[in-house]
Amino acid sequence: MLREILKPAAALLIVTFIVTSLLGLTYWVTAEPIAEMRIKTERETVRRLMPETEMMVDLQAELTGIIQKKIACYADDILIGYIITAAPIGYGGPIEIMVAFDVNGVVRDAEVLRHKETPGLGDDAVKHPFLGQFAGKSGRFALGEIDTVTSATVSSLAVAEGIRAASAYIDEFIWGQKP
Amino acid sequence: MKPLKILLNGVWYENPIFVQAIALCPALAVSTTAVNAIGMGLATAVVLIFSNITISLVHRFIPNQVRIPCFIVIIAGFVTVLQFGLEAYFPALNHSLGIFIPLIVVNCILLARAESFAASNNALWSAADGLCTGLGFTAALTFIGAIREFFGSGTFFGVSVLPAWFPLTVIIILPPGAFFTLGALIAGMNVIKKRRRA
């Protein structure tokens, strides 16, 4: 009787133990390449968003809420703009967006780095036709100005909020600096 | 002829979508375009081949009462390992297929094939079954995806084919449209089957 209970339990324990160990091992082995790959994609994205960038400086400023990173871009030692990384929560978890601003805090372009939105529905909100409408916006623009993607309202609004948060943040940063 | 039987079963007689009607949730969610459908189908096929092999090798050591939790743990572990590997070493592939991988964990085709085939066949046949079922899944998804993309977005594999004045049927790319398309295709398949029997 006891044997009948113990045997399956032991088998389940062994299977979970082996699978978990393999998972841990894979995580350990791949953690470094994944981190490197992320830095690489980030750099490539900066290059696409601000092609004229020659030097990037990671401004380790006080970050609030969903704002994750602030990069200043220089060309010929002259400040040409900022890139803010925001991570609003979408339908399937955080959506990491990089937003490029000119020196006056006007949105130039945006690109999504990582997301887990539903393929075919929500992921339209992380692609270019949708992201394109943010160009030219600045400050705390009204979300009503943005056309959401059909059947992907949650993903669209998350992206819009992320870009708006980045825009409001950079606006405060630029105008807060000037006397 | 066992190989032929496995192939015909996977693609036609036991097609996971049209006949067994399993894994509909991830399938219908991604079949809004043909390209997405192929991506999901191929990612599933690869995982299915390996999960079938693993399960055919270990099922002897697993007591019957706990086989389902064990299979699920093995499949979920396998999928996660694949996800890490793709993210670390194949950035291009990860960019196009990465979003489908988490959907595969909850794909019951894997469990269904583990239960009904891999647990009673050797590793080689199980791999073949995984490949053929995966192909059937990919074919079915691509079919649905191409039809939905055509009527819903006016494109075919991403290329615009309908003139601009042609009214698009947006509901086809929304969830109800997935069921309409699937229903129509299953009806068509049944008609063909009936004719052949008569």
DSSP letter for each residue of A116-170: -PPTTTGGGGGSHHHHHTTTT-BSS--GGGSPPPTT-HHHHHHHHHHHHHHHHHH
Whether A21 and A69 map to the same domain: the answer is: no
Residues A96 and A170 in one domain: yes
pLDDT of amino acid A178: 57
For chain B, the average pLDDT equals 85
Chain centroid to CA A89: 10
**CA distance to partner chain B, nearest, from residue A22 (Å):** 8
Per residue in B161-196, pLDDT (tens digit) is: 887 777 777 788 788 889 999 999 999 999 998 998
Q: Which of B36, B39, B63 is closest, CB to CB, to A8?
A: B63
Residue A162's nearest CA partner among A93, A103, A102 is A93
Domain that holds residue A34: 1-49
Q: Per mean pLDDT, which range of A75-79, A148-152, B35-39, B145-149 is the poorest?
A: A148-152
Same domain, A76 and A26: no
A99 and A86 Cβ atoms separated by less than 8 Å: yes
Predicted local distance difference test score (pLDDT) of residue B176:
87
Whether A138 and A73 map to the same domain: the answer is: yes
| A171 in the same domain as A151 | yes
pTM score: 0.73
pLDDT score at A23? 92
Of A7, A118, A123, the CB nearest to B63: A7
Which of A12, A22, A37 is opposite residue B66, by nearest beta carbon? A12
Same domain for A107 and A59: yes
| A108 and A63 belong to one structural domain | yes
Indicate if A67 and A145 belong to the same structural domain. Answer: yes
Measure in Å the smallest separation between the Cα of B142 and chain A Cα atoms: 13
CA–CA min distance B83, chain A (Å): 10
pLDDT band of residue A139 (cuts 50, 70, 90) is confident
Task: Report ipTM (2 d.p.).
Answer: 0.70
A62, A39: one domain:
no
Residue ranges of chain B with pLDDT lower than 70?
A: 1
CA distances (Å), B135 to each of B34, B52, B127, in order? Answer: 15, 14, 12
CB spacing of A8 vs B65 below 8 angstroms? yes
Q: Do A14 and A97 lie in a common domain?
A: no
Write down the mean pLDDT value for chain A.
Answer: 86
Q: Give residue A120's pLDDT band: very low, low, confident or very high (50, 70, 90).
A: low
Contact list, A8 vs chain B (CB under 8 Å): 63, 65-66
Q: Is A128 found in the same domain as A166? A: yes
Structure tokens at B121: 């066949």
pLDDT, residue A160, reads 92
> Greater confidence, A18 or A92?
A18
Residue B3 burial by Cβ neighbours in a 10 Å radius (0-12, 13-18, 19+):
exposed
CB A119 to CB B77 under 8 A? no
pLDDT at A164: 92
Helix (H, G, I), strand (E, B) or coil at A48: helix
Phi and psi (nearest 5°) for B163?
-65, 155
Query: Is B174 in contact with A15 (Cβ distance < 8 A)?
Result: no
How many domains is chain A built from? 2
Higher confidence at residue A26 or residue B155?
A26
Pair A102, A88 in one domain:
yes
Q: How far is B88 from chain A (nearest CA, A)?
A: 4
The alpha carbon torsion through A51, A56, A60, A65 (nearest 10 deg) reads 10
